[in-house]
Chains A and B, each alone.
Chain A
Amino acid sequence: MNPHTHRIRLAAVLLACLSMVACKDGALQNAALAIKGVADSNKTLAATVIAENHAGNISGYDAEIILKASDKMADAVIVAAKLTKNYTTFDPNARPALITVVAPVVVAVKEAIDTGIVGIQNPALKSKINTILLSIQAALGVAQTALGGQ
């Protein structure tokens, strides 16, 4: 086999390996964008609840329930983002750990949607907060898919 054929074969092998790595990085970037989406939606949720509490549209009791969930989500985002940063060094332990972090947040958000906003009397406000929670749920779904979770 001539040297050119060797080089072409070697280049093909290298490209195949690089495309595999690039696919992983595409998934990583999707996960990062989804985590950022959760973080931003959660920030909007907290700001909305606090503003509506100040305006007297949501009681301190109801606001506290939602803000406690929001605080937990913020904690989970920080853990998930730090774990995802480890992906850039291809830490083999990061992927299952990250899916483990994301899964309970999905459950918590679902519970918040199902029961957490029951105490809010104002239909427009209830709808507004529900929409934010649904956007968080959707972003979490994207993160799970990107990471190969369920």
Chain B
Amino acid sequence: MPIAQIISLLQVALPGALQIISIVRDKQTGKTTVMILDDAIQSAEDTKAMIAAWQAETKA
């Protein structure tokens, strides 16, 4: 099989493989990488809200 044909097959196969890998779940939490990152963002936003509430309370 010519190399060009193999490359063209890979170009078709890899995007699909990337999609499959992007839904691989963490063994311990069962969450995908994107879900873990969303949790991290939520946790950071909770922290910021907590600090903002404390600052408002101390200024009041």
| A residues whose Cβ falls under 8 Å from a Cβ of B | 6, 9-10, 13-14, 17-18, 21-22, 25, 28-29, 32-33, 35-36, 38-40, 42-43, 46-47, 50, 53, 60, 63-64, 67, 70-71, 73-75, 77-78, 81-82, 84-85, 88, 90
Q: Is the CB of A35 within 8 A of B47?
A: no
| B residues whose Cβ falls under 8 Å from a Cβ of A | 1, 6, 9-10, 13-14, 17-18, 21-22, 24, 26, 33-34, 36-41, 43-48, 50-51, 54-55, 58
Given A14-B13, A21-B14, A42-B44, does the pair A33, B36 have CB atoms closer than 8 Å?
Answer: yes
CB neighbours (8 Å) of B55 from chain A are 64, 67
Q: Is the interface of A mostly helix, strand, loop or mixed?
A: helix
A35 to chain B, nearest CB (A): 5
Q: How far is the CA of A43 from the CA of B24 in the complex (A)?
A: 27
Given A36-B40, A74-B47, A81-B37, does the pair A17, B10 have CB atoms closer than 8 Å?
Answer: yes
Q: Is the CB of A50 within 8 A of B44?
A: no
Q: How far is the CA of A21 from the CA of B39 in the complex (A)?
A: 24
Q: Is the CB of A46 within 8 A of B10?
A: no
CB neighbours (8 Å) of B6 from chain A are 10, 13
CB neighbours (8 Å) of A82 from chain B are 37, 41
